Amino acid sequence: MMPAVDPREEARKKRAKFAALVTAATVIAATTLSESRFHDWVWALWLVSFTIVVVFTTFSMRQIGPPYRRRRDGGSRPGRRGRDGGDGEVGEVGGHPRGDAGPADPAPYRWRTLLMVSRMMPGPAGRRWLAEAESLLSEIAAARRGAAVRSYLRSAPRLTVMMWAHEVLRLARLGPRRPG
Amino acid sequence: MALRLTVQVQLVVQALLRDPAREMYGLELSEETGLQPGTAYPILLRLEQEGWVTSRWEDIDPQTEKRPARRYYRLTANGAVQASSRLAGASRPSGAALRRLAEGEGVA
């Protein structure tokens, strides 16, 4: 049984990590570009910041993996993104349960690529695309999974353009936001 | 812009029209039409934007079912009427075109 996770707490942690990462990157840039580069204690600050960036980036990349991998590692990071966005539902994307044994076929299906591609799409549309791809890929026969992933990736550029065009039109219909 | 009835769109619409009241999910549609899921998805999205199709997430507990929820698609009343009339006026894809499509999709 997975422990209940407060989405607000998760969001707070994510913001804190992002802030630390930005701060570290800023320090690296500032010390590298400044004239007093590596004088006195500055090298230590640079080294600490660089370590933070490397550790966070590595950690983040390790966490973006197919759901089955995290389950096998004993990880229980729940999906944190709602499917349609804004509906408050904690989606199963990237962390839905598949039983303790994981899916029948352990072959990875380019989960990271699908995730990255979905992030190029407008938020809710990208989340829906990813959730639907995940749903289908979890049910499709293992022999057909590779072709299905390739078809998703092949159609993604055109779909992304279509989604953004639709989003822009939708925003244009809504008109400019009024302050207050 | 009016929806262009390409061969792929016709296949999806025909599959949905076989029983307009029936809801179908992505994999089911993909198997019925012979199209790859990545090809069927943009078509369904476009049909939904045009108001021909409506969709919803399946209401299940993924932990109990041991699978993620499916997205179900169904023709709207207006969509069924429009699809029927547009299909009646559309030129039927030739056998060769369908064969090329199936080979291109890697589906037997």
Where residue A38 falls (left for φ over 0; alpha for ψ -120 to 50; beta otherwise) is: left
Cβ contact, residue pair B71, A135, below 8 Å? yes
B29 located within any domain: yes
pLDDT digits (tens, 9 = 90+) for A52-73: 877 777 666 655 555 544 444 4
3-state SS string for A102-128:
CCCCCCCCCHHHHHHHHHHCCHHHHHH
User: Which chain B residues are closer than 8 Å to A98 by Cβ?
Assistant: 66-67
CA distance A172 to A153: 29
The verdict on residue B23 lying in a domain is: yes
Q: Answer whether residue B6 is part of any domain.
A: yes
Question: Does pLDDT of A105 surpass 70?
Answer: no
Q: Which residue of A has its CA nearest to B56?
A: A84
d(CA B62, CA A138): 12
Percent of chain B clearing pLDDT 70 (strictly above): 82
Number of A to B CB contacts under 8 A, please give it: 74
Residue range B34-42: mean pLDDT, rounded: 93
* B64 touching A (Cβ < 8 Å): no
A156 reaches B (C-beta below 8 A): yes
Count: domains in chain B: 1
CB B75 within 8 A of CB B53: yes
- A136: nearest CB among B27, B46, B49: B27
Write the CATH number for B13: 1.10.10.10
Q: What is the pLDDT of residue A104?
A: 44
pLDDT cut 90: percent of chain B above it: 58
* Contact yes or no for B73/B53 (Cβ under 8 A): yes
Q: Residue A33: CB partners within 8 Å, gap ≥ 6?
A: none
Helix (H, G, I), strand (E, B) or coil at B3: coil
Per the prediction, chain B carries an average pLDDT of 85
Confidence of residue B45 (pLDDT cuts 50, 70, 90): very high
pLDDT confidence tier of residue B103, bands split at 50, 70 and 90: low
| ipTM of predicted complex | 0.83
Domain extent, residue B7, equals 1-57+70-87
Q: Which residues of A touch B30 (CB under 8 A)?
A: 136, 148
d(CA B100, CA B106): 10
pLDDT in tens, A11-50: 777 777 777 778 888 877 777 777 666 667 777 777 888 8
Distance from CA of B14 to the nearest CA of A (A): 21
pTM: 0.61
